[in-house]
Amino acid sequence: QSYSGESAMGHLVQMMGLAVQNFVSAAVGIAVVAALIRGFTRNRTDRVGNFWVDLTRISLRLLLPLSIVFALVLAASGVIQNFHGFTDVHTLSGEVQKIPGGPVASQEVIKLLGTNGGGFFNANSAHPFENPTGFSNLVEIFLLLVIAFALPRTFGRMVGDNRQGYAIVAVMGIFWVASAALMTFAESQHHGTALQAAGAAMEGKEQRFGIAASSLFAASTTLTSTGAVNSFHDSFTPFGGGLAIFNMMLGEIAPGGTGSGLYGMLVLAIVAVFVAGLMVGRTPEYLGKKLGGREMKFASLYILTTPTIVLVGTGVAMALPGERAGMLNSGAHGFSEVLYAFTSAA
């Protein structure tokens, strides 16, 4: 989202334009993974379901009810929900600042629940109207993760073997826990005079959240490729920021976005089963379906698409003198920003 939401979008566009797309994009991801699962389980048919039926059911029976409940929870925790225009507020320095209102809670919940990421305000979930307290911060992290972590159980139920779902969610969970722990450790180190004076790497972080809650949000939002932030990732320490980029480069698998995380993990499972089958000299099979050259070509295309976009895009951008001259930051930091941008897009 390369624009300031509160100054570029009115309430009508936020509610009927962006919010609707937040629902639909999330529903599409879940519908795609449902079609993939039916492809594994189908027998004596060439059908994988009806996309429009899936889209409607997911939107009306899953996303909308959850959004209504948690919009009320967010509103109760202090997230604003109104149709006000700008309010003049007198700041501590004696100046007058115009603060916009709006239907924020309803937009906030589907922004996170659908792993979309575009905030009502430019500061996103770091803005006190979107994320006012430590409690609301934990609720928003929960919303980021809940559907992506729940879908492996759906997979286990649909294929008739819950162990398959447990295995996938365990791998997702290990990646997520390790990322959150390492990022918290990296951001808690006190290298440098400013960091030692502050007691931690507090630049770009909200005082009401601190290191742990900011790192947990950052790990969750980059692993789900959501884009929502409650701190400024550009200000993270080298290891913390590098881990955020690494999380995105994993390609949405731990737990990934709504639907995209599970189908990304299933593609990796197919590759793993294929390689293991070759190693032991057996015909590779997954859930009763034989894996051959055709399946591996498609899986390889899926795996190679993201790194190709990242490497080619970043390489071309850094090779053009005019593009480099337009960068605000030069050197390694500027390169990281370009790499982050192409990774996010890919």
**pLDDT given at position 203:** 86
**Dist. CA 54–CA 36, nearest whole Å:** 13
Give the pLDDT confidence of 204-253 residue by residue, as tens digits: 899 999 999 999 999 999 999 998 999 999 889 889 999 999 999 998 89
What's the confidence (pLDDT) of residue 1?
A: 65
DSSP of 281-328, one letter per residue?
A: TS--EETTEE--HHHHHHHHHHHHHHHHHHHHHHHHHHH-HHHHHT-S
DSSP track, 121-136: STTGGGSTTTS-SHHH
The whole-model pTM stands at 0.92
- What DSSP designation does 178 have? H
Q: What is the pLDDT of residue 86?
A: 87
Q: Please, what is the Cα angle at 189 between 188 and 191, to 5 degrees?
A: 145
CB 217 within 8 A of CB 209: yes
Neighbours of 118 (CB within 10 A): 19
Q: How much is the pLDDT for 116?
A: 92
The model's pLDDT over 269-318, given as tens digits with 9 standing for 90+, comes to 999 999 999 899 888 999 888 998 899 999 999 999 999 999 999 999 99
Give me the pLDDT at residue 53, please: 97
User: How high is the mean pLDDT in each 10-residue block of the chain (346 residues)?
Assistant: 80 88 95 94 91 97 97 96 89 89 94 92 93 96 97 95 95 96 90 73 89 96 93 90 93 92 93 91 89 92 93 94 85 90 91
Cβ 135 vs Cβ 78: under 8 Å: no
Q: Which residues is 96 bridged to in the sheet?
A: 90
Integer Cα distance of 81 and 106 in angstroms: 7
Rounded to 5 degrees, φ, ψ at 255 are: -95, 0
Residue 231, SS3 per DSSP: strand
